[in-house]
Structure 1
Amino acid sequence: MRPSSKAVVALGSNLGDRDATLRRAVSALRATPEVEVVAASVPIESVALTVDGLDESKPAYLNGAVLLATTLEPVALLDQLNRIENDEGRLRVERWGDRTLDLDLIAYDDVVLDTERLTLPHPRAAERSFVLEPWLQVDPEAAIPGSGPIAPLLAQLSDPVSRVAGAARLDADLADHHTGATP
């Protein structure tokens, strides 16, 4: 078996029970062969981002991030992320439209890749607080290849995000989630 790689996945949902959807996605990642969930963030809330910019008239997003250890190659991991999205009823109708679940492969080790299907690191990660804030929670020393450490990148951004009061990490056990306890 090949050595394990480190991958970062951003999660987002703005339709339905957003919190439950993100938690099911983390559980599905846990159940995926060759994938280990190393850490998951506390969810944050953000204004919907559309092709025209931030849109407060749209349902707000709940976002998070997970740090994975995986022996899957990047495209194989992307296939698993797409499978989980599809299992949650993801429909790809409108670019940057409302969605039940969005799973983006943000970074995979220090791999730089640009294919028709996958670009690594994610081309807009450094511009989005809703990606960097939860990523910083799971990997405070993280850096984006070509852009640098995420902490100073996040400090330069102004798109609004907010913590969800009393929310447990997305990898917390269901019992902890219901009591509001943070492990």
Structure 2
Amino acid sequence: MKAVIALGANIGNPQENIDLAIALLREATDIQAISSMYTTAPVGGPEQPDYINAVAIAESELPATDFLNMLHGIEKALGRERTIHWGPRTIDLDLIQYGSILSASQELYLPHPRAHERRFVLEPWLEIDPDAHLLTHGRVDGLLSALLESER
């Protein structure tokens, strides 16, 4: 199944943490593409440093909940502590979309409920997949255009 994963970090050594997360993802999945790194301002939460963000596309046969648990395991291995909602983090791995799975359970929400509002997801995703389509909201290029227009 095609997995779209958003990566972000803003404390410790963010670039190194993302590189380490990608290395661990390569061990667990078949990485198809990785975007460039983007520096972005934090969204919500307390005052904190800017983030380094990227998006990866991978193939996996894992069930969606197992894939999400694998991402959480990588976060934990890289020192992620879930203490402050939208707070600073050593690494953040969000499962944006997994195949054509739609889920709104407490443990697994797919596609990611705010992906269509996040430039730091849409821009790197579009870079590596120009025909990308967010299941619940449409083409990523159109979503990004609308978001950029709303920021003006």
Tell me the TM-score normalized by structure 1: 0.79
Displacement of 1:146 in angstroms is 2.0
Displacement of 1:22 in angstroms is 0.4
Displacement of 1:150 in angstroms is 0.3
In structure 1, the residue corresponding to 2:43 is in which secondary structure? strand
Letter in 2 for 1:23: D
Partner of 1:50: 44
Partner of 2:12: 16
Displacement of 1:88 in angstroms is 0.6
Q: Could you report, residue by residue, the CA deviation over 1:64-99 in whole angstroms, capped at 9, with x for unpaired residues?
A: 000000011110000110000001100000111000
Letter in 2 for 1:27: A
Partner of 1:95: 85
Q: Please tell me whether residue 7 in structure 1 is matched to residue 7 in structure 2.
A: no
Structure 1: state its 5+ residue gaps: 161-183
Partner of 1:60: 50
1:58 and 1:84 map into 2 onto residues whose CA distance is: 23
In structure 1, the residue corresponding to 2:25 is in which secondary structure? helix
Letter in 2 for 1:25: A
The answer (yes or no) to whether the contact 2:4–2:96 under 8 Å persists in 1 is yes
Structure richer in helix, relative to its length:
2
Letter in 2 for 1:113: S
Residue number among 141, 146, 149 corresponding to 1:151 in the alignment: 141
Letter in 1 for 2:19: R
In structure 2, the residue corresponding to 1:152 is in which secondary structure? helix
Tell me the TM-score normalized by structure 2: 0.94
Q: Which runs of 4+ in 1 moved over 4 A?
A: none
Which aligned pairs between 1:124-163 and structure 2 lie closer than 5 A? 124-158=114-148
Partner of 2:22: 26
User: What is the RMSD of the two structures over their aligned residues, measured on CA atoms?
Assistant: 1.4
1:146 and 1:25 map into 2 onto residues whose CA distance is: 27
Structure 2: state its 5+ residue gaps: none
Displacement of 1:156 in angstroms is 1.4
The answer (yes or no) to whether the contact 2:48–2:87 under 8 Å persists in 1 is no
Larger radius of gyration: 1
The answer (yes or no) to whether the contact 2:8–2:93 under 8 Å persists in 1 is yes
Identity %: 38
1:77 and 1:138 map into 2 onto residues whose CA distance is: 21
